[in-house]
Amino acid sequence: MLKVYGRANSINVRKVLWMLEELGLKYDREDWGRGFRPTDDPEFRKINPVGVVPVIDDGDFRLRESNTIVRYLADKHGRADLYPKELNQRATVESWMDWASTDFAQGMRPVFHGLIVKNPAFANQVEAGAKEWGRQMTVLEQHLATNGPFAMGTNFTIADIPVGLVVNRWFSIPFEKPAFKVVATYYDRLTERPAYRAHGRNGTP
């Protein structure tokens, strides 16, 4: 049975859990990371020398990096509806996934760590983070308004997994923020999916 290493409240682990739920795959999970065994533990460094979660064991194959794992699972299980085979569409899916993990998440991190984790190192970065996060939410708002209802248009794809988890944090973390009506509709549309209710909009930022 496939095994996932990482705590269930990690945004990156949740990408993998959401994907597994979409695929209907059974798995075991072992807690590692903040609040559990640290990822700098020598035992975990044998699992992943980079020292981050998630990691999966799929039979005799081990893989790290959340977006890569999501793509691997979609491809392995023949889900071209979620991860298109056509080169241009596939590359565009990957570009939205990478954006969600870089530009879109850049402002989110200090807000989350400052307000939710209560890490004092981020206390003075929350305001600037919220401003940057709002700028990137505007990018998503405009994209969905003209190209939605999902990141890739008509159909849900794995592009929506990392995007949807950052969106969940936007709406779940209490701070002063502008309204984004199109993204709010997108958030509700994602919530129609049982896998998102289980691992995205589940009460955890």
What pLDDT is attached to residue 99? 98
Any idea what the Cα angle at residue 169 is, between residues 45 and 143, rounded to 5°? 110
Q: List Cα–Cα distances, 103 to 2, 13, 62, in angstroms.
A: 31, 19, 28
Are 83 and 158 in contact, with CB atoms under 8 Å apart? yes
CATH of 2-76, one of 3.30.420.40, 3.40.30.10, 3.30.70.1110, 3.90.1300.10: 3.40.30.10
What pLDDT is attached to residue 58? 98
State which residues of the chain have pLDDT below 50. Answer: none
Residue ranges per structural domain of the chain:
2-76, 87-199
What pLDDT is attached to residue 83? 98
What pLDDT is attached to residue 134? 98
What pLDDT is attached to residue 43? 97
Task: Please give the structure tokens belonging to residue 204.
Answer: 């955890």
Chain-centroid distance, C-alpha 91: 18
Tens of pLDDT, residue by residue over 125-183, are 999 999 999 999 999 999 999 999 999 999 999 999 999 999 999 999 999 999 999 99
Give the integer Cα–Cα distance in Å for 65 and 52. Answer: 8
What pLDDT is attached to residue 57? 98
> Which string of DSSP letters, residue by residue, matches 86-135?
SHHHHHHHHHHHHHHHTHHHHHHHHHHHHHTS--GGGGGGHHHHHHHHHH
Fold of 87-199: Glutathione S-transferase Yfyf (Class Pi); Chain A, domain 2 (1.20.1050)
